[in-house]
Amino acid sequence: MIDAGQSRASLIPLTRNHAGFPEGITGPDLLARMRSQAGLFGVELRNGHVDALERRQGDFLARTDQSTIRARTVLLATGVVNRRPPMIDDSTHARAVAAGRLRYCPICDGYEVTDRAVAVLGTGERGCNEALFLRSYTANVTLIAPEAARQLSAQQRALLGEAGVGIAGPCRAIRLDGNEILVDLEAGPRAFDSLYPALGSDARSELAGQVGADLSEEGCLKVDAHQRTSVVGLYAAGDVVLGLDQISHAMGEGGVAATTIRNDLARQTPLLR
């Protein structure tokens, strides 16, 4: 396993929706436990970044700046990167995520903002849908357009209006102030308990592109029901595959992929059948 150590899970202050941890577990703790479990069973764990993937005589070559690894099959679980609001600096961003003021997964932790003042930063269909989703947890939701709210259609405005979701923007800056996140609007700063950026994400699917695997319009990997990509021997699991971006889902896909890899290899190796 080669890992560049940029897991989205490492940003989770405390997840309460991961089965088996009723008191919750931090993302870094969960990752450390999984690494130690994999190590117990002989998985070689390498820290590093795979810069290039290529096919060579039916195998794959994965290149890092340290070494080149030859493999018969590759499982890509490279995840996605959330698009961050440009109007917040890196250190404030890190502190705000750690404090639960800035949140990226309403499906994971929307219930934690029940009855709180929540802002959604975004516009168009994505912003509208995320604001309406969060409206089922709290009546105090404001959709803030980063630039201006022009990208909302009349129908979206009507839907938001009916749900009692406020619309504001443009947003000039995002600041952290004690237990609140402050959004600087033209009319002045507004304080919220939490802010959800709804700006989308970018799939880390460059390596798949290098070997010609089919990608969706969003840049996610397309797989069959057994996590096989369109390239023989290349499998994918987790956020980099189009679908629900959650740990449980990534793990389920990982389990399906691992079993498929084992069975596909067994077909080529009669003794393993």
Ligand X SMILES: Cc1cc2nc3c(=O)[nH]c(=O)nc-3n(C[C@H](O)[C@H](O)[C@H](O)COP(=O)(O)OP(=O)(O)OC[C@H]3O[C@@H](n4cnc5c(N)ncnc54)[C@H](O)[C@@H]3O)c2cc1C
Interacting residue ranges for ligand X, rule: CB under 6 A:
2-9, 11-12, 15, 17-18, 49-50, 77-79, 82, 97, 104-105, 108-109, 204, 207, 238-240, 245-248, 250
State yes or no: cis peptide before 170, omega within 30 of 0: yes
Instruction: Kindly tell me which of 109 and 171 has the beta carbon lying closer to ligand X.
Output: 109
By C-beta, is 129 or 151 nearer to ligand X?
129
Give the CB-nearest residue to ligand X.
Answer: 238
Name the minimum Å distance from CB 141 to ligand X: 19
Rounded least distance, CB 190 to ligand X, Å: 22
Work out how close the CB of 52 gets to ligand X at its nearest, in angstroms, rounded to a whole number.
9
Distance CA(182)–CA(180), nearest Å, equals: 6
- Residue number, 3 or 59, with CB nearest to ligand X: 3
Pick 101 or 204: Cβ nearer ligand X: 204
In the complex, least distance from residue 253 CB atom to ligand X, rounded to whole angstroms: 8
5 or 188, CB closer to ligand X? 5
Closest distance of CB 21 from ligand X, Å:
10
